[in-house]
Amino acid sequence: MRFVSTRGRVPAVPFTHALRHGLAPDGGLYVPERFPTIDRADVEAATTFAGAAARVLAPFLSGDPLEAHLDRLCERAFDFPVPLTPIGESTALLELFHGPTAAFKDFGARFLAESIEANETECADARPVTVLVATSGDTGGAVAAAFAGRRGTRVVVLYPKGGVSPRQEHQLTCWGGNVRAFAVRGTFDDCQRMAKAAFADAAIGHACRLTSANSINIGRLLPQVTYYAVAALAHRRATGSDPGFVVPTGNVGNVAAAFWAKRTGFPLRRVALATNANRPIVDWFETGEWRPRPSLKTLANAMDVGDPSNMERLFHLYPERQAFLADAMARSVDDATIRRTIAEGPARYGRVWCPHTATAIRVREDLGPEEWVVVATAHPAKFETIVEPLVGRTVEPPPRLAEVLKRPTEVTEIGPDLAELRPYVVGD
């Protein structure tokens, strides 16, 4: 298996190359050159999630140096539960927040960290790998946790100052050592723009082996295919129906993984993109005009993205708009509705939702009687300042998150300009 750029102007490369470099040289995003048909029975025969995940990923790593390490990579990366739980008639909840940072980003971040570490044992270049990540909340915390203390790598985290929850910010800034956090005076889109510019910067390229830990990196996105594949099979086995998936949507990496699972033959009926007040995706569905714009600040901050990078992968996957519309839909949910959905959660479902999961729950409530799986992307304790006043009680963090919140923090504030970041990256 090889990977090609969405822009089609550079040769195909192995998985390890795509993982190491993040962006393709022509500025495009790496995607599989083809989508294999995976044996469902083989995946269902696995006795653990990690085992099933390895079987889902095996065709994508075929012929790559990491192929021999795949079972171990999955065992180490996916060492936490992935429950699929009915929460009402024709609705199930896929809980993706049981990893160490209580968010779905743990799947991709931990697999990426394990993959880079395994690859480094066979790399002759002695320079450390610099992992650059722009985050609207959960990505940076998951990447920092996954790479903290690993020899031969350092992490640079960019996040919008004032644009993440207090507990998210703590997870970004509490690691020290090989992890450095920068609060950018701007939006997530500014952080993402700076990260992309860094890959094109000659001084940084000379000083560092730079790679991305955002979902632009194939090593972050590809492992997310696994939970869609496994959940779709489990839901079909339990109900006899192919489920649709309602996915909280920001930079569209999680959604792209769902479509990739569908393209490889797993039984996903349809994908509903649940967005907050940032409407570029919804407007494209309604008008056919792709018009990125500055992001708006909302309660569901991890989805505050005005120019989602991974739409490029979806446009590549679906060159015909009508085919895309047949497989997907998009809905926008405002802050007032997110608040109401969180407040109603305990009485209606016996659950407390994070703002992102609440967005998806609300979209599900507007859909028809078909079978749907709602993707729960983060633990509500990460957003206690929003959630607790709405539900009228304390939401305790899970034990691993509670331990992280005891660590001291350190952060550097910079403006939204690569020139301010460059000395820290080149000079470290």
pLDDT band at 230 (very low <50, low <70, confident <90, very high): very high
- Contact by Cβ (8 Å): 227, 96: yes
Query: What Rg do the C-alpha atoms of the chain give, in angstroms?
Result: 20
4 belongs to a structural domain: no
pTM of the model: 0.92
- Assign 151 to helix, strand or coil: coil
Is 356 within a domain? yes
The answer to whether residue 387 sits within a structural domain is yes
pLDDT, mean of residues 117-145: 80
The CATH number for 234's domain is 3.40.50.1100
Residue 125 pLDDT > 90: no
Give the chain's domain count: 1
Q: Per the domain annotation, does 140 fall within a domain?
A: no
3-55, pLDDT tens digit by residue? 999 999 999 999 999 998 888 999 999 999 999 999 999 999 999 999 999 99
Question: Where residue 136 falls among pLDDT bands split at 50, 70, 90?
Answer: confident
**Residue 288 dihedral angles phi and psi, to the nearest 5°:** 80, 0
What are the pLDDT digits (tens) for 370-421? 999 999 999 999 999 999 999 999 999 999 999 999 999 999 999 999 999 9
Nearest to 256 by CA among 30, 84, 102, 71: 30
Select from 218, 200, 223, 172 the least CA-distant residue to 70: 223
Taking only the tens place, the pLDDT of each residue in 263-272 is 999 999 999 9
In a domain, 404, yes or no: no
> Which residues face 130 on adjacent strands?
154, 210
Question: Is residue 345, in this structure, part of any structural domain at all?
Answer: yes
Residues spanned by the domain of 297: 79-103+222-397
Rounded Cα gap, residues 32 and 149, in angstroms: 31
User: How many Cβ atoms from other residues are within 10 Å of residue 198's Cβ?
Assistant: 24
Answer whether residue 168 is part of any domain: no
In a domain, 151, yes or no: no
